[in-house]
Structure 1
Amino acid sequence: MTVSLFANNSNRTITRQEAANDLEVYFKIIDQQHGNPYQYISREAFQNFVNDQIEALPEAISLKQFEVILSELNNQLLCGHTVVKMESKLLKSTISQTQFFPLPIKIINDQLFVDFEKSIIPHGAQLLSINKVSTENLVAELSKITVTDGFSPTKPLREIESKFGYYFFLKYGAANRFDVQFKTAEGQIKDIQIEATAGNSMLANNYYRPINLSHERYNRFTHLDAIDSLQTLILTLNTFRANPDWFHEKVTSRYDEETKEFDFENLVIDLRINEGGDRRLLNILYQFLTGDKLNDPSKTYTRAQQIQMEEYVSSINGRLKSDEAFSHANDYLQKYFKTEKEDHFEAPVLNWYDEFEGGEAKNWNGAKFGGKIYVLISGKTFSAAADLARILGQMANVVLVGEETGGAHVGRAANMIVNYSLPHTQTSLQVPVIYEEFINVSDGNVGRGTFPDYLVQPNLDDLMAKKDAVLEYTLDLISQNSNYGSN
C-alpha cells in the first residue's frame, strides 16, 4: 500500500553527482568543525564509510533516500547532538500528509507492542509485520538512523517509540493505509488494515499519548504533584527549554521563609522524557538541593578557533546566519580556546556554569532541601537532563530509578551548536563545536550513559496493566522508608 503522495517533495530526485557532493561536504564539515568526531570511530574508518556510500549511490536518488543514507552515516559518530534532518520547508510539507503509521508502540525486548486503547488493534498486541515488513529486526534497522551518545542502547529505543511512524516512513516509505499482522495477548494471529495518520498531528501529540504518558503531568513542560500520604512532591520536568523562573516560583510556594522548612519530606524529580535545553535551570536545582552553587568542572576543546565552512552555515546557537553571529561565536572560541595541541585547541579546566552568573540567572536563597531525592531517568533523559542526573547521582541522599540515560556520563560534544545546510539537498546538519569531558566522574562509564541505582525496565505485564512501573517502584521505595528525615 506504499504510495507516492508527494512526488515534488521528499520523493524529488537529485543526481548521483549532487548526492556525492553533499556527502563530501558533510564529511568536511564534520572533519573540520565537530568538537570530537573521532571519539568512537577513527577518521580513516569514518572516511571509508563515506566513500563506500558515495560509490554505492545510484544514478538518481530521492531526498528521502538520501536522508536515510546520511542518517546511517551520521550514526557512526555515536554523537547524540550531531543530527541530520530534511530541510525545514520540506519536512513541514512531508509531515502534513496523511501517510504515517497511526499507533503508538512500546519496545519490549526488541519487540513492538501497541501502547494505545482507541484502536481496532487491541492494546498490548504484538506487531508482527507492517506492509509485509517483518518487525523481527525492525528495531535494529531503525536504530541505524537514530543518534545516541556513545554506546548507550536506551536512547534509540525511546526515540523510535516517540517517532515510530516517522522512522518507519523514512526507511520503508509512505502509505495511506497499512496492512498489519499482529498477535493478541491470547496468542491469536490476525491480519487487519488500518488507515494512516497525518505526521504533524502524530508528532505534536506524541502519538496521541501512549497510555503510560496520559497523566496531566506529561502533557505539560513542567508540573507539580503532591502525595500527602507519603509527604512527597513529584516535580516533572519534561524539558529544560522552559524559563527557569517557573521552577523558582513553584518551589518557593512550597517553602516557608520564616521556619526555613518545606511542606514535603521526599522529592521525586521525573526526567524520563526530558531531552535537555536551558542549563541555567541546573544551577537553581542544585542550589535548592545542596545549598551550594553548582560546580561541575570539565576539560573542553574545539577543533577550530573559528566557524568553518561559512558558506553552508544557516544558524549558530539558534541565531540566524549574520556577521554578528559569526563574530560572537569566533570571539568566544578565541577567548577560551587558546592552547593549541596537535589537532585541537584546549581551554583551561573551567566550571562552565560560572558563565550563567549575572542578570540572566536565578538563585535559590532559601534553605537547602535535606530530604530524600529520587530521580527518574530513561533513554530520553539527554543532554542537560542527563547532566543533572549524573550530577545528582553523586549525592548521598539521591537515588536514581529507571534505565540508563541517553546522554554520555563521562564526556560528549554538545556546546555551541552550528546548523549547516547541504548545497544540493538542503538537508539540515546540526554540529556541536565544543567537546566537554567531565572531571568529577569515574571512568567506569566510558561510552555509556548514567546508570540507575534501581533498574526498572518495561515489560509486557506492566504494559497490559497500564502501569507506570518506574514511578510505582519509586513510591514503593518511599513507603518502605517510614522514618522520614527532617529537612
Structure 2
Amino acid sequence: MKKLFVFPLILLFSMGFAQYSVSEIPEDGYLKDFDIAVDIIRKQHPNPYRFHSKEIITRKLDSLRNEIKKDPGYINLLINNPTRIIGDGHSSFGTDSNYFEDVMNSIYYFPLSTYVHNGIIYVNGANKYAIETGSEILEINGLNADSILKRIPKAADGNIKVEDVDIAFNIPFILKNRTNDFTVKYKALNGAQKTVKINGIKYPQYYYEAKHAVLPIDLVSESYGIYGYKIDPETYYLSVKSFSYDESFFYERLKKYFQEMRNLKSKKLIIDIRNNSGGAISNVALLYSFIATDKSFNNEYKYGTQVVDINYTDYLIDPQTSQYYSDKDITDLNNFMRQRFDKGEKGDYYFGNSRLDNTYIKSYPRDGLFFDGKTMLLTNNRTFSAATYFASLFKTEKRGEIVGKETGSCSNFTTAAWFITYKLPHTKSTLSIPRTEIFFNNNDQDHVANCTGVIPDHTIKSDYFLKSLKEQKDPELEYSLKLLSQ
C-alpha cells in the first residue's frame, strides 16, 4: 500500500543531506505541478472514475486547486494533492526529501501519542502533562475530534471509513495556523473535562514518542515481518505484516512456524494481518495453503486495465534510481503490457492473458504441514491490497472468524501490480499510480462498483478497548483469545 503522501520514512534518510531549499520553488510551481498530476491521472490511471463520476471528480479537483491557489505552498500542495479524491489507496503523492527537510524543520508536532477507535481519539501512552492513557481528546486548537478525523488524508479504496491514522504527525499539517504549542480539551478517565496547553515537539522527539506508545503492542512482528510464538498451551499466534517476500523465503518462514505448531500440538491459531500493506498476490495463496480445510481451494483472480500503453511520457522516472526513462525504456514498458493484456470481448477493458503470471494457480493445493484447528484472523484499516485478498479468501472459504476493523481496500478487487512514477518538474514531488486493477473471486469490472473492505465478524466495543488500553493489552488479541476459549 502507498500512502497519500509519504513523509516520515523519507525523512529518516534525508537528515543532513539538503542541497536545495523549498524557498527556490516558484509560487506558480505548485499549481503547475497540481495540473500536471491531474493530467497524468486522467490519462494514465487504469480507471480514475471507478468510484466517482467524471463530473464529481472534476468538481472536487477544482476545489482542491482553489485551496492551493489561495495559499500556494509545499504543505498545501501535499494536503490537497489530487490523489486524495479518486478513491484509490494505491495512488500516492510523495515528497522530495531535501525540500521536505525544510518543512520538517519548521514544524512542531503534536506531543501526545494517540489511537483512534470507534471515532474517539484516545491518549495512547504516558506523557509529562499527566494526561492519563485512555483519556479522550475532544479538541485541539479549537478543532473538534470529528473535524480532525475528516481533514486527515486517508489511504483507502472508495469510501471505506478509515480511522487508523497518525493524529500526532498530521495535526500540524491540517491546522490552518501552524504553531509551536497546542491547546487541548480532553475528557479524563473520571469523566471530567479539562483544558491544557502543551508544547509542540520536533520530529526526532515525535518519532521517539510514537515508538513508546502503548499500541501497537506487537512491535517485534513489525520489525521481523513474519513472526510466531505460543500464547498458551493450546494457542499459537502468527503475525504476517507483509506479503512482499521472495516466495522461497516466505515458504521457509511459514514452514518453520507451522512445523512448530505441529510439534506443540496447537489446537488454535490466531493469524494477525493488521498493518499488512500487501505485496505479491501469489504469496496469499501460499499462506492460505497452510490452513486450508480441503485438499485444494479456489484461488481465482484476474488483472484488468483500461490503459495498456503509457500515454503520458514526460517526467517518468525509475523509482529506484530517480533517473528519467528513455524512449527505449518506455517502449519496453509498453511492449511488456501489450504482450500480456488482450482486449475484452465487450467494453473498454484489457485483461491479462496466460503469459501474464506463471505463478498463478487457480486450484491451489493444501500444504503438507497444514493446520486444521480453530483459526481466527485479525484485520484493521491498514490491512491492504494483497492482505485484503487474504482476508477475503479467509472469509469466502469460511475458515474462521475475523476480529478487528474493516480492511482499507476493497474485498473484491484492488488496484496494484505494476506502478509508474513521475517526478513533477517544479516541486520534485513524485506521483505514483498503479497500471492495473485485480479482480478477486470471479468479480470483474462490471461487479465492483460498490466497494467495501472485508468486514470483520467481531469489532471491539469502546469500553472493552479502553479497558485493554489502560491495562496495556492488545484489545483485538485479547478478544480473540476470549472467543477461542468459549
- When the two structures are superposed, what TM-score results if normalisation uses the length of structure 2? 0.82
Q: CA deviation at 1:30?
A: 0.8
Matches within 5 A, 1:310-459: 310-315=313-318, 321-323=324-326, 326-339=330-343, 344-348=348-352, 354-355=358-359, 366-440=368-442, 446-458=450-462, 459=465
2:126 alignment partner in structure 1: 117
Contact between 2:279 and 2:385, CA under 8 Å: does it hold in 1?
A: yes
Cα distance change of structure 1 residues 14 and 171 upon mapping to structure 2, 3 Å threshold: farther
Output the aligned Cα RMSD. Answer: 3.5
Contact between 1:296 and 1:440, CA under 8 Å: does it hold in 2?
A: no
Matches within 5 A, 1:41-440: 41-54=52-65, 57-58=68-69, 61-70=72-81, 73-95=82-104, 99-120=108-129, 121-142=131-152, 145-153=153-161, 156-158=162-164, 160=165, 163-172=166-175, 174-199=178-203, 202-203=206-207, 207-220=210-223, 221-229=225-233, 231-245=234-248, 247-254=250-257, 263-290=265-292, 296-315=299-318, 321-323=324-326, 326-339=330-343, 344-348=348-352, 354-355=358-359, 366-440=368-442
Which letter maps to 1:43? K
Matches within 5 A, 1:23-42: 23-42=34-53
2:4 alignment partner in structure 1: none
2:5 alignment partner in structure 1: none
Q: Which runs of 5+ in 1 are unaligned?
A: 1-5, 358-362, 481-487
Secondary structure of the 1:455 match is: coil
Which letter maps to 1:425? T
Secondary structure of the 2:139 match is: strand
Q: CA deviation at 1:340?
A: 6.4
Cα distance change of structure 1 residues 216 and 44 upon mapping to structure 2, 3 Å threshold: closer
Q: CA deviation at 1:454?
A: 2.2
For residues 273 and 242 of structure 1, the distance between their equivalents in structure 2, rounded to whole angstroms, comes to 16
Contact between 1:317 and 1:418, CA under 8 Å: does it hold in 2?
A: no
Q: CA deviation at 1:351?
A: 11
Residue 467 of structure 1 pairs with residue 473 of structure 2: yes
Q: Between the two proteins, what is the percent identity of the paired residues?
A: 21
1:106-134 CA-partner distances (Å, limit 9, x unpaired):
22343322111244222122223323434
Q: CA deviation at 1:270?
A: 0.4
Secondary structure of the 1:15 match is: coil
For residues 263 and 96 of structure 1, the distance between their equivalents in structure 2, rounded to whole angstroms, comes to 54
Cα distance change of structure 1 residues 74 and 50 upon mapping to structure 2, 3 Å threshold: same
For residues 451 and 306 of structure 1, the distance between their equivalents in structure 2, rounded to whole angstroms, comes to 35
Which letter maps to 2:187? K
For residues 360 and 322 of structure 2, the distance between their equivalents in structure 1, rounded to whole angstroms, comes to 19
Secondary structure of the 2:69 match is: coil
- When the two structures are superposed, what TM-score results if normalisation uses the length of structure 1? 0.82
Contact between 2:342 and 2:353, CA under 8 Å: does it hold in 1?
A: no
Q: CA deviation at 1:47?
A: 2.3
Q: Which runs of 5+ in 2 are unaligned?
A: 1-17
2:27 alignment partner in structure 1: 15
Contact between 2:108 and 2:179, CA under 8 Å: does it hold in 1?
A: yes
Cα distance change of structure 1 residues 279 and 410 upon mapping to structure 2, 3 Å threshold: closer
Matched residues, number: 456
For residues 322 and 105 of structure 1, the distance between their equivalents in structure 2, rounded to whole angstroms, comes to 42
